[in-house]
Structure 1
């Protein structure tokens, strides 16, 4: 919605895998916009797991990383984000 159109992933910075995820684990993904440029959006993403039947307090972070996306036009060329023209 922020880009109001298509985006392409151009980078993934510092992806760290802290723990494995097993079949049956509940996985929650959290994302937060940490910055924007003229054509790009940087998003910090975390994944947390909880073993089946365990209380929420037992959730542990299993991975995290920063993704950079670039807004693209119909010709797959970078385009300004809305309000950054």
Structure 2
């Protein structure tokens, strides 16, 4: 078994100035820019812990809490919250700082699942995570629970899809804001 690594070993922060070309039509920073930065910092953090190339499996629970403005200095703080056999869950907190006003706001939270790969592009085992603080224990436990809930949810959705009867579905949707116009 590999030697464990402390959470602090792979903590990673990326900071970037939000420039006008990152803005959407509403003048705020485009969500896709932030998602790209989230993926980048998750890769750096996971790869550091795994000491291997890591790929993104899923980006979960991305919440855009507040808009990011052009001119903000955005910092993405990432840490490994959970490790499985070959996977890691990286928690990311995004902070935007308006340097002119001196204000700081928490704009996003996200959880990214990564898988470590070896030289042959096969999943490879990752080191255990050494938890030294109560927050690290809490984050590991929460990530484990989120993973279990996600698995349960996906299983339930698959069962629902398999069991779906079109006529029943149309009836259940009758009071929803949709206009069903299926060909006869």
Specify the TM-score bucket, using the shorter chain as the normaliser.
0.7 to 0.9
1:1-85 equivalences in 2 (<5 Å): 1-55=48-102, 58-82=103-127
Structure 1, gaps ≥5 residues long: none
CA drift at 1:52: 2.8
Whole-Å Cα distance in 1 between the matches of residues 110 and 97 of structure 2? 19
Whole-Å Cα distance in 2 between the matches of residues 32 and 5 of structure 1? 16
Whole-Å Cα distance in 1 between the matches of residues 127 and 65 of structure 2? 36
Using the size of structure 1 for normalisation, the TM-score is: 0.84
Greater percentage in strand: 1
> Which structure has the greater CA radius of gyration?
2
Structure 2, gaps ≥5 residues long: 1-47, 129-184
Whole-Å Cα distance in 1 between the matches of residues 112 and 52 of structure 2? 17
Whole-Å Cα distance in 2 between the matches of residues 6 and 81 of structure 1? 11
Greater percentage in helix: 2
Q: Which runs of 4+ in 1 moved over 4 A?
A: none
Using the size of structure 2 for normalisation, the TM-score is: 0.41
Count of aligned residue pairs for this structure pair: 81
